[in-house]
Amino acid sequence: MSAALRSRLDCFLRNTLRRFLNVQAQEVQAIFWSFSYFFALLCSYYIVRPMRDEMGIAGGVENLQWLFSATFVAMLAAVPLFGWVSSRFPRRRFLPYLYYFFIASLLVFFVLFRSDITHAWVARGFFIWVSIFNLFVVSVFWSFMADLFSNEQAKRLFGFIAAGGTVGALVGPVLTTALAIPLGPTNLLLLSACFLLWAVFCVNRLISGCANRRHSAAANAAAPSNVEQAMGGGVFAGIQLVARSSYLLGICVLMLLFTSLATFLYFQQAQIIRDHFSDPAERTAVFAAMDLAVNTLTIVIQIFITGRLVKWLGLAVTLALIPLLLGAGFAVLGCAPVLSVLVAVQVIRRAGNYAIMRPAREMLYVVLGREEKYKAKNFIDTVVYRGGDAVSAWVYTGLRAMGFSLGSIAWLAVPVAGLWAWLAYTLGKRQGVIAASAEAIKPAIKYRS
């Protein structure tokens, strides 16, 4: 790309972005590639997500707790492997390696689905794999973002960057709906792999931008010399880092509370939709319609509200907002556990999580060191997340076995949501204290293209 064309493109992007958020000239390319990166990841995931949800119901709602438990066990095996790779390879190598692994996995499932192997275990394996895939690729994405941007930049830009994922989450279901019949669902796995290849390209562009920053005279004094060296440490460093930090332990509890309520709502969703629709095609259509509603609402909030919300309310209040709204939603669901209420609560919960809670939660990591951002965060986002899923799945199953109705379980979730809101507020305040201490010692490093 010529210098003149690049200058005109930067000017166009900068003027466009300034209509929605406060962006500086040196951030334009980083915003563009980060947005595109997250778009590719979530588009890839949402192409295969409807297949996962249908396979979960087809395998029996009464067996979902086993799938959640198997996913947790698989996570226990995957996290040490990620710790080993991230300890021994620099960021510019282990990030693409991760996505190449998932691309290869998609190709394996493509071959299995195209073969005569139609055993239920393949479908269950696919459900588990997609559950791992989603958490890993998104967790590593946000680790990379927390590594690239300063705390001040994160508050301004993370909402807009998250919108890239939402656009991908909108495009993915559209592509699935339009191409599933003419191409066949199995062939969509290849399309999903192509979007992951685009994500790798975006990673390389962002890392190249970091290299340019380090070689520029203006940034030499601020850029760390070891930014592209391997982090070192053991394969279980993430667990050790969490165990030694009350701040990270608090984020663990925050994640457990979040996953518990999300799992309760997911099981209620599966039961209510199963009771209302007997045709798998109808159930898939309902899931797709919910995805569309969630993602449409999410992108509107991310572009126009998220960045301003953190500025107006502060990080602590912003983090507590969604748990409070979900607590109110569970109270309504306790009074009326019907399909329309369930859909409304689930759409608001997911949109609020993607648009507000997730970007705000990722800001908690910006003030930490590199190992915490990758290893500890990955442990929390995968093992703790899926561990919470597995435990809450069995708790939900036990409550149903004891005779608790859907409405009664919804009422039990209300105080849990209150505890989640209090902890979120506390961690938001703690992040501000850590950020202030870090800035007093060392000025923030900003990405420069």
Determine the pLDDT at residue 225.
45
168: left (phi over 0), alpha (psi -120 to 50) or beta: alpha
Determine the pLDDT at residue 377.
86
Determine the pLDDT at residue 176.
82
Q: Which of 92-96, 265-269, 279-283, 320-324 has the highest mean pLDDT?
A: 320-324
Determine the pLDDT at residue 36.
94
User: What are the angstrom distances between the C-alpha of 383 and each of 71, 131, 337, 375, 398?
Assistant: 9, 12, 31, 11, 22
In tens, the pLDDT along 195-228 reads 999 999 999 989 887 655 544 434 444 444 455 5
Q: Residue 210: inside a domain, yes or no?
A: yes
Residue with token string 């390696």? 97
Task: With cut-offs at 50, 70 and 90, classify the pLDDT of residue 69.
Answer: confident
Determine the pLDDT at residue 220.
42
User: What's the domain range around 216?
Assistant: 22-441
Q: Is the pLDDT of residue 445 over 50?
A: no
Determine the pLDDT at residue 449.
43
Q: Residue 385: inside a domain, yes or no?
A: yes
Among candidates 172, 383, 159, 137, which has minimal Cα distance to 288?
172
Asked whether the beta carbons of 73 and 209 are under 8 A apart, the reply is no
Q: Residue 448: inside a domain, yes or no?
A: no
Q: Provide mean pLDDT across the span 303-326.
A: 87
Domain count within the chain? 1
What does the alpha-carbon distance between residue 121 and residue 142 come to, in Å, rounded to a whole number? 32
Q: Which residues contact 408 (CB under 8 A, 6 or more apart)?
A: 334, 399
Q: Residue 266: inside a domain, yes or no?
A: yes
Q: Residue 9: inside a domain, yes or no?
A: no
- The CA-CA-CA angle for residues 426, 431, 436, to 5°, reads 130
Task: With cut-offs at 50, 70 and 90, classify the pLDDT of residue 448.
Answer: very low
Asked whether the beta carbons of 429 and 349 are under 8 A apart, the reply is no
Question: b/e map of 61-98 (b: 16 or more CB within 10 Å)?
Answer: eeebbbbbbbbbebbeebbbebbebbbebebbebbbeb
Question: b/e map of 273-309 (b: 16 or more CB within 10 Å)?
Answer: beeebeeeeebbebbbebbbbbbebbbebbbbebbeb
Structure-token pair, residue 326: 């979900």
Q: Residue 2: inside a domain, yes or no?
A: no
- CA-only gyration radius of the chain, Å: 21
Q: Give this prediction's pTM.
A: 0.74
- As a whole number of angstroms, the longest Cα–Cα distance in the chain is 70
Q: Residue 57: inside a domain, yes or no?
A: yes
In tens, the pLDDT along 345-383 reads 888 888 888 888 888 898 999 888 878 888 888 888 888
Q: Provide mean pLDDT across the span 425-437.
A: 91
What does the alpha-carbon distance between residue 231 and residue 137 come to, in Å, rounded to a whole number? 19
What does the alpha-carbon distance between residue 431 and residue 367 come to, in Å, rounded to a whole number? 7
User: Hey, how many other C-beta atoms are within 10 angstroms of the C-beta on 117?
Assistant: 10
Q: Residue 449: inside a domain, yes or no?
A: no
DSSP state, 444?
Answer: P
CATH of the domain at 335: 1.20.1250.20
Q: Provide mean pLDDT across the span 270-296.
A: 78
